[in-house]
Chain A
Amino acid sequence: MLVLIGVLLVVIGFALRLNPLVVVTVAGIITGFLGKLSPVEILNAFGNGFATSRSVTLFILVLPVIGLIERFGLQEQGRRLISRLAALTTGRLLLLYQLIRQVSSALGLATINGPAALVRPLIYPMAEGAAERRFGRALPEAMREKVKAYSASADTVGQFFGEDIFVAIGSILLITGFVDTTYHLKLDALNVALWAIPTAICAYAIHGTRLFLLDRRLDRMAKEAGLITRPPEPEAQEAGR
């Protein structure tokens, strides 16, 4: 039972917001001692663990090219693509964004979007703008908070349940790396990734439904706040361009 202290240490360390890398290292050393390993055995375990789990870090090979195309306007172009969707309601906009996020993560583009690069500068302003178009500019704080929360959630859910379909993502590599070294199996990363597809579809169905219902929820909140709901704007004439 004593070895479970290592797990407890990780929990406490994360709860105290200590640096995760340091927490993990210290918990590893202490767990080793509690498991009656000698200092050399512990160092060997760290060395072997590092050497056999290198595949998890191989993703850094894509950073130079991502950085380069970012410099030449990748995010700006992403913004331009998305801003053509400005005529949607809050819920439908977020529904569409989650789809884009999920599909692009599945294609291995999980790290180039995210809350800092897209949600704050673009998605939230557009979602809020859509709500203002419908309910007027005097949007109550509670409704703004709701739109913010759902903008963040569309991004997070989209990323989580999209990225596991991409073969070279950390979690897939961790699964194959850990299982292959520990149990001497030969798992194929692509096969593991394909099994993430059913869950991805469920995630889109569940969270998508909730995003779809967000418009009605905002309607209700607006009614309670005494705001008059305006009829939805007619579809943009130039939508086909």
Chain B
Amino acid sequence: MIKVEWFYWLCGAIFIAVAALTFADATNARRHGSGAFWGLLGGAFIYSTFVVHKTAPAWVLGLAVIVMALLVATGQLGRGETPGPTRAEQEGGADRFGNRLFVPALTIPVVVIIFAVGLAKIHVGDEPLLEKSSETLIGLGVASILAVVIAFVMLRPKSPLAPLQEGRRLLEAIGWAAVLPQMLATLGQLFVAAGVGDQVGRITKNVLPDNSLIGSVLVYCVGMALFTIIMGNAFGAFPIMTAAIGYPVLVQHFGGNAAAVFAIGMLAGFCGTLCTPMAANFNIVPAALLEMKDKYGPIKAQIPTAIPLLACNVALMYFLAF
């Protein structure tokens, strides 16, 4: 059967290849630090397999992760001067290929859905074809490979390394932010292990009307929005509010549909993201890009949408999840 670990290894291999290209990139003044960062990340992806199977100590990986954060903290991460596509390249490509350019991009969602919905049910002998509960991720992995092949045959780039070079260009533009969601998930788990969720839960229970479903839904959704406004990121708020009330109260006590509770809860958090300067890349950066006088202009345009939408989320969760 097809295992999701294969694709984590592919991911790790891409990071290591990016590290190699970075080490060799003379235009990057910080190529040693950057190369070390991507290399460590790639190694960590592969080593993780053994941590998950408990055949290797986790602290080694923890140390690698902290070294990566140290590299970022001390400013060792930089980008090379890999040129982006020129205007002429883009216009020439659009002239030649037109709407066919969307084919590789659209391959990805189509293949993911085929895997998640169709192939997930297929068994080979007694075993399912795809590793259980990872069907979507496996679909994403296969879709990415397929899309590269299609793009390669269609576009015929000069160098066989072109996809890797272009991937590196985007990855360097994302930089350390590529691992931030993963670190926030880790922080969430640490918060839970250290009892932060329990503490927030104890506080909210004092505020909460006893055994009121609508009250609990309200506290979860509004809490997600408020924590997101404070932290600037719904990913950071999610583990806290979910440990405090989402899982113990809404799913366990009231028997809510877990998928619906968590999906709508996350979107309630997104309503908070619309309202906060802390979510700089979504709210401050566009204002800067558009050279606005009022830095908070986009937020002001979004708050009157965020508030009724939060109310919608409360209603949707109350009526759909229970």
Chain A residues packing against B (C-beta within 8 Å):
1, 3-4, 6-7, 10-11, 14-15, 17, 19-22, 24-25, 27-29, 31-32, 34-35, 37, 40, 42-77, 80-81, 107-109, 112, 115-116, 119-120, 124, 141, 145-146, 148-153, 155-157, 160-161, 164, 166-168, 170-175, 177-183, 185-196, 198-199, 202-203, 206-207, 210
Q: Which residue of the partner chain, among A31, A155, A174, contacts B196 with CB atoms under 8 Å?
A: A31
Q: Tell whether B255 is near chain A: CB-to-CB under 8 Å.
A: no
Contacts of A1 in B (CB 8 A): 199
How many chain B residues have a CB neighbour from A under 8 Å? 148
- Give Cα A31–Cα B239 distance, bound, in whole angstroms: 14
Are B44 and A175 closer than 8 Å at their CB atoms?
A: no
Are A65 and B144 closer than 8 Å at their CB atoms?
A: yes
Q: Tell whether B232 is near chain A: CB-to-CB under 8 Å.
A: yes
Contact with A along B134-176 (1 / 0, CB 8 A): 1111011101110110011001010000111111011100001
Question: How many Å from the CB of A34 to the closest CB on chain B?
Answer: 6
Are B278 and A4 closer than 8 Å at their CB atoms?
A: no
Question: How many Å from the CB of B303 to the closest CB on chain A?
Answer: 10
Are A73 and B93 closer than 8 Å at their CB atoms?
A: yes
Are A115 and B289 closer than 8 Å at their CB atoms?
A: yes
Are B140 and A74 closer than 8 Å at their CB atoms?
A: no
Chain B residues packing against A (C-beta within 8 Å):
4, 7-8, 10-11, 14-15, 44-45, 48-49, 51-52, 57-66, 69, 72-73, 85, 89-99, 101-102, 104-106, 108-109, 112-113, 116-117, 132-137, 139-141, 143-145, 147-148, 151-152, 155, 157, 162-167, 169-171, 176-196, 199-200, 230-236, 238-240, 242-243, 247, 258-260, 262-264, 266-267, 270, 273-274, 278, 280, 282-283, 285-287, 289-290, 292-294, 297-298, 300-302, 304-305, 308-309, 312-313, 316, 320
Are B286 and A178 closer than 8 Å at their CB atoms?
A: no
- Give Cα A35–Cα B188 distance, bound, in whole angstroms: 13
Instruction: Given A3-B196, A48-B58, verify A43-B90 contact (CB < 8 Å).
Output: no
Are A196 and B267 closer than 8 Å at their CB atoms?
A: yes
Given A73-B101, A120-B290, A148-B292, 5 more A-B residue pairs with CB atoms under 8 Å apart are: A24-B187, A28-B190, A50-B183, A65-B108, A168-B136
Contacts of A15 in B (CB 8 A): 278
Sorted nearest first, the 7 A-B pairs with minimum C-beta distance are: A35-B194, A67-B166, A73-B93, A49-B186, A47-B58, A43-B62, A47-B61
User: Which residue of A has the minimal Cβ distance to B162?
Assistant: A68
Contacts of B320 in A (CB 8 A): 195, 198
- Give Cα A207–Cα B184 distance, bound, in whole angstroms: 29
Contacts of A182 in B (CB 8 A): 189, 192, 239, 243, 247
Are B194 and A37 closer than 8 Å at their CB atoms?
A: yes
Q: Which residue of the partner chain, among B163, B176, B179, B312, contacts A19 with CB atoms under 8 Å?
A: B176
Instruction: Given A32-B194, A72-B93, verify A51-B58 contact (CB < 8 Å).
Output: yes
Q: Which residue of the partner chain, among A35, A71, A107, contacts B85 with CB atoms under 8 Å?
A: A71
Contacts of A194 in B (CB 8 A): 259
Counting chain B CB atoms within 10 Å of each CB, which of A32, A150, A168, A194 scores highest? A168
Are B262 and A192 closer than 8 Å at their CB atoms?
A: yes
Instruction: Given A74-B105, A148-B290, verify A22-B69 contact (CB < 8 Å).
Output: yes
Are B151 and A43 closer than 8 Å at their CB atoms?
A: no
- Give Cα A152–Cα B308 distance, bound, in whole angstroms: 19
- Give Cα A41–Cα B193 distance, bound, in whole angstroms: 11
Contacts of A65 in B (CB 8 A): 104-105, 108, 144, 147-148, 151, 163
Are B190 and A57 closer than 8 Å at their CB atoms?
A: no
Contacts of A69 in B (CB 8 A): 101, 104-105, 151, 155
Question: How many Å from the CB of A125 to the closest CB on chain B?
Answer: 10
Contacts of B262 in A (CB 8 A): 175, 179, 187, 192
Contacts of B61 in A (CB 8 A): 46-48, 50-51
Are B309 and A206 closer than 8 Å at their CB atoms?
A: yes
Contacts of B313 in A (CB 8 A): 199, 202
Question: How many Å from the CB of A33 to the closest CB on chain B?
Answer: 9
Are B194 and A193 closer than 8 Å at their CB atoms?
A: no
Are A157 and B312 closer than 8 Å at their CB atoms?
A: no
Are A66 and B105 closer than 8 Å at their CB atoms?
A: yes
